[in-house]
Amino acid sequence: MSLLLLDRSQLEVKSEGETLALYESGVRRGTVPIKLIDRCVIHGAQTRLDSGVLMKLAEAGVSTVLLSPRIPRRVALVLGPQHNDAAVRLAQATRVLDELWCCQWALSLVRAKLSRQCRTLQQLQLARPDARKPLYEGLQTLEGILQSLRDADCPELDRLRGFEGAAARAYFNGLTGVFAPSLNFKGRNRRPPRDPVNVCLSLGYTMLHLQAIRMCSSAGLDPLLGFYHRPAFGRESLASDLIEPLRPMLDLWVWEMLRRRELRDDHFSIDKGACLLGKAGRQVFYAAWEKQCAPWGRWLRVQTQGLARDMRQQGEAWLVNVDGDDEEAC
């Protein structure tokens, strides 16, 4: 199973049996079997397709995401069939209201994220001894914060966010020393990202977030109901929770990709203060992403399935038996 990237001007997609037919400027360019696709990414508004294509993809369990052509921002997401286990969502909703449980969940999550941030800086120390000073300083601060969290019983969420924020500042200060000066990376920025590093980080985080939404949905969890990232309008807070420990691993991958010059200066442009990744660069990014993302997807699947099993045991007590001949609600 793989990712289908639709990112060409004058591209039209049609459903033909169990395949998608691709037409460019009216000329048939080929077909793609739907059974080989598990994710579809559409960049911008230049690709044309009808509702029949979306229905075919959704019925096959393919998630389709539409991304803005300018910045790494999701515009729309179409998922396949939803999980029907109400017990999981009932229990999840009660856990969101359990302050102690949420604090314990969040503490474990932040500890895991900071541990991986430390490992990322340690790996960069070995690869870039010339940048030892900023990496060493960042690592020292991170290890001190992590030790405080190991010694802590269970800090309140606001205090825990303060620890995480201080760790993020130290971590990104360390990262600024390892990227090439031409990339103009001076720390994390977004909406819009203003340099090539932040473009890649934002697009990578967006793709991780979408993967987490898919895994939540397939496990029966509600991606909107998070425990560390509290529920908020329009945000899949549980997906945001789940990807936190993966972010440092993605950061290292972005550094390696830019260091190897898989993405070059000519793949990026600046427009009104925003740094944009061009079409050729997006092709490179997604090809590299497809090779890299499999272990992250497996980790998210294990986490969501384990969480759903735990929730199901609690929630099943609240379900009622429904007669088999009851009509489905319309």
Q: What is the mean pLDDT of residues 179-190?
A: 89
C-alpha torsion angle, residues 148, 154, 160, 164 (rounded to 10): 50
Look at residue 326 and tell me whether its pLDDT is greater than 70. no
pLDDT at 45 over 80: no
Weakest-pLDDT range from 17-31, 107-121, 125-139, 311-325: 311-325
- Report d(CA 229, CA 160) in Å as an integer: 11
pLDDT confidence of residue 320? 67
List the beta bridge partners of residue 76: 66
Quote the pLDDT of residue 250: 97
Strand 19-24 and strand 11-16: pairing? Answer: antiparallel
Q: Is the pLDDT of residue 327 over 50?
A: no
Class level of CATH domain 86-314 = mainly alpha
User: Between these two residues, 322 and 66, which has the higher pLDDT value?
Assistant: 66
Percent of the chain with pLDDT over 90: 48
Confidence class for position 321, pLDDT limits 50, 70, 90: low
Q: How sure is the predictor about 46, in pLDDT bands with cuts at 50, 70 and 90? A: confident
In the predicted model, what is the mean pLDDT of residues 131-147?
Answer: 92
Other C-beta atoms lying within 10 Å of the C-beta of residue 150: 11
Name the band, by pLDDT with cuts 50, 70 and 90, for residue 136.
very high
Q: What is the pLDDT of residues 267-312, one digit of tens each?
A: 999 888 889 988 899 899 999 999 898 899 999 999 999 999 998 8
Contact at 8 Å (CB) between 118 and 139? yes
The answer on pLDDT for 328 being more than 70 is no
Residues shown for the chain: 330
Give per-residue pLDDT as tens, 188-230. Answer: 988 889 999 999 999 999 999 999 999 998 899 999 999 999 8
Contact 236, 223 (CB under 8 A): yes
Least confident of 145-154, 162-171, 316-325: 316-325
Phi, psi of 321 (to 5 degrees): -80, 135
What top-level class would CATH report for the domain 2-78? alpha beta
pLDDT at 93 over 60: yes
C-alpha Rg value of the chain to the nearest Å: 22
Both tokens assigned to 288: 């590299």
Q: Is pLDDT above 90 for 15?
A: no
pLDDT band of 44, cuts 50, 70, 90: low
Predicted pLDDT of residue 108 = 92
Tell me the C-alpha distance between 213 and 96, whole Å.
Answer: 17
More confident residue, 204 or 49: 204
Separation between Cα atoms, residue 189 and residue 200, nearest integer Å: 11
Q: For the chain, what are the domain ranges?
A: 2-78, 86-314
Q: How far is CA 34 from CA 14, 20, 180, in A?
A: 12, 7, 41
Residue 329 reports pLDDT greater than 50: no
Q: Are strands 274-277 and 37-43 parallel, antiparallel or unpaired?
A: unpaired
Average pLDDT of the chain to the nearest whole number: 87
Residue 114: alpha-carbon gap to chain centroid:
18
pLDDT tens, residue by residue, 226-247: 999 988 888 899 999 999 999 9
Place of tokens 């302050």: 99
What's the pLDDT score for residue 249?
96
